[in-house]
Amino acid sequence: MKKLTLLPILLLVSLSTYGTSFRLVQSSEEIGCYDFIELRLTSKNFEVKNPFTEVAVEALFTDVNGKTEVVEGFCDEQAGKIYLIRYMPRVLGDYQYSVNVKVKNREEKYSGKFTVYKSDRNGPIRVDNVNPWHFVYENSGKHFFWNGTTTYWMLGWKDEQIISSAIDRLAGYGVNRIRVAINGRAQGGERWSEPNVIESDGFTFKLNPWIADKPSDLDNPGFDVSRFNLYHWQKLDRLIMKARSKGIIVSIIFYVDGLDHGCDPFKKTNMGNMDEQRYYRYAIARYSGFDNIMWDVTNEYHLFRSEAWVEKMGMLIKKYDPVGHMVSVHGNADFPFRTSDWVDLVLFQSWDECGGYSFIQSAKDAQQKSGRILPQVNEEYGYEEHYSPWGCGPTAAKERPDGRSALNRSQLAWEIYMAGGYQTTGERADFGTGAGDDTGGGWINGRGNDRMTMLKYYKIIKETFESMEYWKMAPSNQLVSFGNMCLAEEESQYLIYTRAQHCRLQLPHGQKYSVTKIDPQTGEKTSLPDANSDMDNNAWQYRQNLDRDMVFVLKRIMN
């Protein structure tokens, strides 16, 4: 099968070597800030029974200011002949490092140096300290407008060119975050009312992060949880690097539907034990050097784990990730970890209209009362054309003929954003994988086709918000009439989303504004006459009847 070849070329450099078992090679003598340097230890005459448990590799990096960071290495060859260390420097100047390799009762030490220069990489995303409902990139300082989609089983594709093409397509729609599972096992899409996504020659639901006696056995793969299946992890390397080249954050999910089949080799009896901790630490060691990742402790934790386990694993991620990438866990309509130190954002699952404007407002209110403001994300609120039996209830749009259409989902997304929250969507899967016309897979595995219309609506939302300083705006529905929704930085900028016939906005005295009408279904922009609050009783009104949803942007004209 085709593979992506996206890892950096390694260059031999001058090193001080105190051991005799390895040759140390580093990827470059100079590296851009927020890129990653890779150190490769290759064994000469080195043999162990299990390199994942018998060998410990650790590096200490020291920047020009004397600050140090400890980074764990990881085995990248099944017999233990190659170990890698990946590190993302975040300070300019000269670095030194020392590497310590422990094998049973002996230690070997290596050292080296490199220089970090300024780069234009965005860096990892962070909570905006000034506007903490929102996100910024650490290096560039640009704001990150969260426009995510679900692609759980993207690693299930056997031809990696399909993965590459899927990422290209999603990036073209402005998607900047995808949800990807390391570990999951399912019989097929009928598990979630998607019968056209099935096992096939080109796609599998059976993900194998560990070496398995019977990797094709759904319920009893026979995982050896002390040994990682490096083909699987190297495939994820290439996926992350491809996403990185397109500016897409990969949210790494450790389990997807862990209750199902043979997905969880630990069960509640052994949850959180040393073997499971090794699983998390291996992922952290392997991917913390990338700036385009974040961590999801698990999907659907409440179905197969305890809250105490979530706390334990969340804290473990924070402890071992030297970069401190964002961490959360996929919850449901409640999120009991709001004040936990390891949590950087709040993830919900609240379906249909139950997860719209009022839900986000209530979530923000609860977060504010906790004394700690964090971004609020409805991570799952019903996928496009996905008519599973669960959802919001009899009054939800799912009961209508077009209930979970692309348009309906985008209208819900507008509500979530207008409440000051964020959302993650999912494309229709009924075009199928291994069944139907076999051109899709949507929210299950990330592949789409030209007949899918959903993400074009979301791209319009993203472009509209990014045309404004949206992070400065707050929900201000008191300024609009007829049940419309408004975000405002009062006196400066206003964003109105309306599904009513009429639209009217209160404005401060003595100000003039440009007005743009945006069609949320086509993206068409129309410049309207300027609004002058003195001419119309301190207000602006669209003086025509509207027959469907519309967006208006008002920006103050400076004298």
Q: Please give the structure tokens belonging to residue 481.
A: 């009439």
For 16-117, CATH gives 2.60.40.10
Domain with CATH 2.60.40.10 in the chain: 16-117
Domain with CATH 3.20.20.80 in the chain: 138-466
At residue 534, what is the residue type?
Answer: D
Q: Please give the structure tokens belonging to residue 508.
A: 């401060």
Domain 471-556 has CATH 2.60.40: yes
Inter-CA distances, 541 with 1, 89, 129, 485, Å: 59, 52, 35, 14
Q: Is 83:76 a contact under the CB 8 Å cutoff? A: yes
Cα–Cα dist 199/212, whole Å: 19
Homologous superfamily (CATH) of 138-466 is Glycosidases (3.20.20.80)
Q: Which single residue is written with the structure tokens 């140090």?
A: 68
Q: What is the mean pLDDT of each run of 10 residues along the chain (559 residues)?
A: 48 45 95 98 87 97 98 97 97 98 90 97 98 98 98 98 98 98 97 96 98 98 98 98 98 96 97 98 98 97 96 98 97 94 97 96 98 98 92 81 92 98 97 96 97 97 98 98 95 97 95 97 98 90 95 94
Inter-CA distances, 376 with 129, 151, 314, 367, 424, Å: 15, 20, 18, 9, 11
pLDDT of residue 17: 44
The helix or strand, by DSSP H or E, that contains position 17, with its residue range, turns out to be: strand 16-17
